[in-house]
Structure 1
């Protein structure tokens, strides 16, 4: 932890130590709403409608865009007390989160409409490669584009994508600062300072420092700090230039492991009778099975962006370029790895997962946007080219001796304690303070043997919204991607092995919009996506292997019927959509043991959403999503007879055909509402609900559904000073947020309270 006590930290603490202070959220918009003045909801309106995506690839207002897009505004982030991307996305139904381990990294892993979208995260419209646990102190809003969206961003998993909108300089002098304290050693400070330097020139600086334990969990804690300076020129003219840098570091004792499933033994095992129902085993929700002397997660992000644009008579030429450098290093304890020690002996084997990865990237996007007429037709267009170069380098952490039990020369743990090398612990009463380091050496793997992957992408796109009449328009989008990736695996004393995939693909978005009234629309749209082998660039859940390198990209299509309405003088936005999504050439094992594009999975769904500022004092946000998923054909599995092994054995159709998608809740919903009383007190409350989720394609390991309640109260002390109290997980509900495929489920934090002093001047 001492490594982060930098001069910057001291400066930050000095800046926020005065009576400025504020909340867990980075930039506390609530002071405005609490005083009854103009709301933040009003300020983020862009083109005459409710919240709109920031990307110029959306060539119509959100009301007239034939696609489902959910936007989490800064006001909601602040009121709910969110401090991470996962916190912010909690209020968007239809998004769940997957867990990671070693090869599949620990970090932000959202599932959108049932598809893993870990590699579909963008910052200001540019793909943000590299596994991370992202903060929100420098975010203006979070945009969720649902359904296949390769036309917008290139390679895509099929469920949708996230775009994180950064804070940039504005032509006003304003500083917001915050200081928050709370239960579980919570302490957080943020500063957001915007200053006008001259004619059209402004700077903005965002700072953050955060320390806390994890509510309801022994030992685990988080520590992070960040700085995001930016400067803009020409904000009042046609030529603009914005230069920015984002830096964040974390140093956590991670709580990734959670609890093992209750059914570790195969159905034909002699111990199958000891299996439970497949839900996690939880003797005590506070139990932490890791080791303070061993476990860690340290991440770093450095992202520099240069955004230049010129507006010439209704057309804008823009170039945005970014250099990124991120790292994700960790070693943490995975509880028992499906070995069954809790069932057999009441003990647990402390398996470890580790990763040491660095990702460097360069992305450049040149675009032209504007409007023109062809006869009676009105066109709003966006055209551009993109280039990206991603380089990943991945190693791991090793231990000597390893994590096996020396008494059994394996993973069986009939006993615990020093004789097991502290690799076995009591399941009911683990001790995270066990002196593991006294008898073990921990070191990083040889960097000369790091796996390396390089990914190059060249793209071109064109979008056009064509207005035929005031009632009818069509939205068309087309994108071409030339994708190339190579994986190099060094082998000691031998030539490295190389695996390469090259492909190009075309994707499109097409929709027709009918407006029965100026404030409403009905649309029908069709969209596609392509998921090539090596989609993750070497740092995600869709890796490149020799088995899949020669296969075509997986293709996903989506048809969607929806409607959007702005009601009550644009104070309430309602959306509804029904959709059918199919991936019909999924990569699966066929009956000869090879991988082919022969699988199919589909999901039918419906969703509703509402966002409102009903009067100056009452705000409302929420929605509901229903997802009916089916693994229609996931190929063949080995059914080798006695004495034979696959691929020489027999392959039979997977018994899991017809099952539900993993990490996908059939029903999910959210609601948040706040109301400001005349004397400056704002009260807010909300709930999130998620149905049962399966971790595996066999649908035998699962986490139960849950409802979580949260509340807040904010009081204006003066025009520019307020106090805000947030109560997270109000009922101290024990529930799980992530289900890994085979080994464990990640438990959610318990009840927590934070109190923040917010100041704006």
Structure 2
């Protein structure tokens, strides 16, 4: 199908004027500033730098506190490991997306997937999936998307168990994205970038003080690029974010804001792995890396897989997404240090994609035999089954959050507190692209032909239909045509599935929470927090023989945190803290990889069986599923050096998770899984001198799967001893946890050589990451009396992506007070490396070297 067959026509080329429209405000901005009656811009000391006090001017890298009512203490006095990526860091590094910006934070990796949100943001903090723990201005943002930074003021990374702060999830930490909102002074800026790989980007930011009462802000963006080093891949997007504040500097203010982002891209299906657990040439433990470079298969076929090799179909594959968010925030200052804030938000996100995923689960890449056969042309290797992944869906959320916060004293004890309540309704509905007109004879379900029903995968028919392609030259394939089924010769259209075959998840959350930073003495601070959530979720599954399965569950979650801070000097602190997190079943509402989902019903059953399966599913969801529990302990120290310009921090921590879903020794799903992460972190951000800014850190993670459950094996009958099933320890037990780098290091620095010239650069290191572990070659037999003999696994294969160093560089020149010119070079050495990994199938390859120049004008 063409990219326009499966979705409404794209208008991405038309709305570029929305970003350019910001330029129109620039001409009138100086006049508006004069009319506002505001004083001229002053100067202030921030982070060791003298900076201009305007809404859109440059500042240092250091933040004093996070922007949230729940932040009841400055960062120095908060007993948590917190990193703030400020807008100046985002600008200097040339970041355009959330993923780009977070590469400056050690200890964060990014995962890939095959469904839900396979290409969008999926950050792992301290080894835990934090996709469901991403917030916008303190409000949960569950929609599957790729986030932009054109309207971002700062990104707050809170590490460690964090359900007290945000609610369900947050086992390893959370992200809070702070929006650009109206400020008191009129200012404007526009930037235009152009570079290699046809990189084009325009952003605008205008803040207008209309009068003493009202301020208006508009940010906009238009972006279009190819991906350096990757054949055919492109990314296009545009967005805008207007906002207005009534009562800018008064005790009572109302802020109305809106955000829209529209994306269109050719998704990157990545590179397959070389071996499976059944064909790895090395016995024992071995690594299977993504296929890259010169390859020789088991059958002696040789070829080259370059970094630009693309296994998708440009004429058919696509990913479209749209995000719309409307927010109303009311704030009032009662005086005497007490304030209230109420935030109401409606969010809608839509995503549709179809892309081919290089799947080697049957060993087609390396091969399984020295010679091929007519039934299995890939037996000697050199082929890849390109499995189709497609989905469309949307998510809606309605959230109201109220915070009462401030300070008071009880005798000599000072309190900085926040109490609040949250109500939210969330809905996510999804379906797949299918072949309309072909129906399963038993249940009427729609089917899409992908080659998944063929075994082995790479038959002559599969190759002829481009289900299976050459490892070395995947674009030299037959023209792709969609048929009614894998064996039909009837050409069929691809459309969205029928409504009764879609899945819908609904969530309802009611929460109350409280935080208090208690200054007992000038040297001793006690930090406490607690949160209680009632989370109700309902899942409506696809129709099964005229029965609509509906599964419900209710969880009551209580989480808390406690920390003690000792301040040996006013500019330093030592702390210890304890925090919990809870992840209930169906926590992501199907918008990501659900480790603890409700399950589904096999449609190929009789009506009586269907009813029984649905009843069993509800019983399992209500009574058998458990909430994942996480506990974190942390001890650390913080200090501010060079007159407060530079913050440094260090922390030791341990995080333990229990109730992980796993197969028990009797073959039944149980909640016996355990995971443990120990490590330490170092961090630095700010200014060493007025001219020299730095940010970065180092993280060590010892992430271990303590208990991965059991795996079932069927043992053949032997004489009077009947066939039986035995369970052995899962091969993952004791291994390093997936999606976790043991070592990660980041450093970004900028130096002002002269008042006009600045130079900067970054160094980023990530050690090896694991996707999954699999075993093969195990032989289990039994004697005639039923005595079991187990050979153990002949092979254990770990899918991994190798370690890497990446270097960036930047040169900036201040042409005048209002005009800046900069050049960013990313991946300076053109390093070939992988930045995402997904279990056994594929790894995403990072962009090659790219460069772009940016011209910025400000008023």
Q: Per-residue deviation at 1:402?
A: 4.9
Q: Determine if the alignment matches structure 1 residue 218 to structure 2 residue 231.
A: yes
Match of 1:330 in 2: 353
1:264-303 alignment to 2 at 5 Å? 264-266=276-278, 277-282=287-292, 283-303=305-325
Instruction: Please say which of residues 328-337 and 182-191 is displaced more in the overlay.
Output: 328-337
Q: Determine if the alignment matches structure 1 residue 513 to structure 2 residue 536.
A: no
Assess, with a 3 A threshold, how the Cα gap between structure 1 residues 277 and 378 changes in structure 2: closer, same or farther. Answer: closer
1:203-214 alignment to 2 at 5 Å? 203-214=216-227
Assess, with a 3 A threshold, how the Cα gap between structure 1 residues 348 and 403 changes in structure 2: closer, same or farther. Answer: farther
Secondary structure of 1:172's match? coil
Match of 1:354 in 2: 390
* Preserved CA contact (<8 Å) 2:286 2:798: no
CA distance in 1, matches of 2:684, 2:461: 53
Unaligned runs of 5+ in 2: 28-44, 293-304, 368-380, 437-446, 483-490, 600-616, 775-796
Match of 1:261 in 2: 273
Match of 2:856 in 1: 758
Q: Per-residue deviation at 1:171?
A: 1.1
Match of 2:771 in 1: 695
Match of 1:720 in 2: 818
* Preserved CA contact (<8 Å) 1:114 1:661: yes
* Preserved CA contact (<8 Å) 1:365 1:384: yes
* Preserved CA contact (<8 Å) 1:558 1:582: yes
C-alpha offsets along residues 129-153 of structure 1, whole Å, 9 cap, x if unaligned? Answer: 1111111111000000000000000
Give the number of the structure whose alpha-carbon radius of gyration is greater. 2
Secondary structure of 1:696's match? strand
Q: Determine if the alignment matches structure 1 residue 476 to structure 2 residue 528.
A: yes
Match of 1:423 in 2: 467
* Preserved CA contact (<8 Å) 1:262 1:276: no
Match of 2:457 in 1: 412
Q: Per-residue deviation at 1:172?
A: 1.0
Instruction: Please say which of residues 90-99 and 103-112 is displaced more in the overlay.
Output: 103-112
C-alpha offsets along residues 657-689 of structure 1, whole Å, 9 cap, x if unaligned? Answer: 111100100000000111112251111111110
C-alpha offsets along residues 79-127 of structure 1, whole Å, 9 cap, x if unaligned? Answer: 1111110000101000001101125643100110011111110000000
Assess, with a 3 A threshold, how the Cα gap between structure 1 residues 43 and 568 changes in structure 2: closer, same or farther. Answer: farther
Q: Determine if the alignment matches structure 1 residue 98 to structure 2 residue 172.
A: no
Q: Determine if the alignment matches structure 1 residue 540 to structure 2 residue 576.
A: no
Secondary structure of 1:491's match? coil
C-alpha offsets along residues 351-371 of structure 1, whole Å, 9 cap, x if unaligned? Answer: 111111110000110110011
Match of 1:29 in 2: none
733, 746, 760: which one pairs with 2:844? Answer: 746
Instruction: Please say which of residues 583-592 and 724-733 is displaced more in the overlay.
Output: 583-592
CA distance in 2, matches of 1:143, 1:40: 22
* Preserved CA contact (<8 Å) 1:100 1:107: no
Q: Per-residue deviation at 1:349?
A: 1.9
CA distance in 2, matches of 1:114, 1:40: 39
Q: Per-residue deviation at 1:582?
A: 0.6
Secondary structure of 2:714's match? coil
Q: Per-residue deviation at 1:492?
A: 4.7
* Preserved CA contact (<8 Å) 1:575 1:609: yes
Q: Determine if the alignment matches structure 1 residue 160 to structure 2 residue 169.
A: no
CA distance in 2, matches of 1:518, 1:510: 22
Q: Per-residue deviation at 1:613?
A: 1.4
CA distance in 2, matches of 1:500, 1:272: 48
* Preserved CA contact (<8 Å) 1:660 1:697: no
Q: Per-residue deviation at 1:272?
A: 8.5
Secondary structure of 1:10's match? helix
Assess, with a 3 A threshold, how the Cα gap between structure 1 residues 68 and 275 changes in structure 2: closer, same or farther. Answer: closer
CA distance in 1, matches of 2:101, 2:812: 19
Match of 1:26 in 2: none
Match of 1:316 in 2: 339
CA distance in 2, matches of 1:616, 1:225: 36
Match of 1:24 in 2: none
Unaligned runs of 5+ in 1: 21-31
Q: TM-score, normalised by structure 1?
A: 0.92
Match of 2:789 in 1: none
CA distance in 1, matches of 2:807, 2:841: 28
Assess, with a 3 A threshold, how the Cα gap between structure 1 residues 232 and 41 changes in structure 2: closer, same or farther. Answer: closer
Match of 1:27 in 2: none
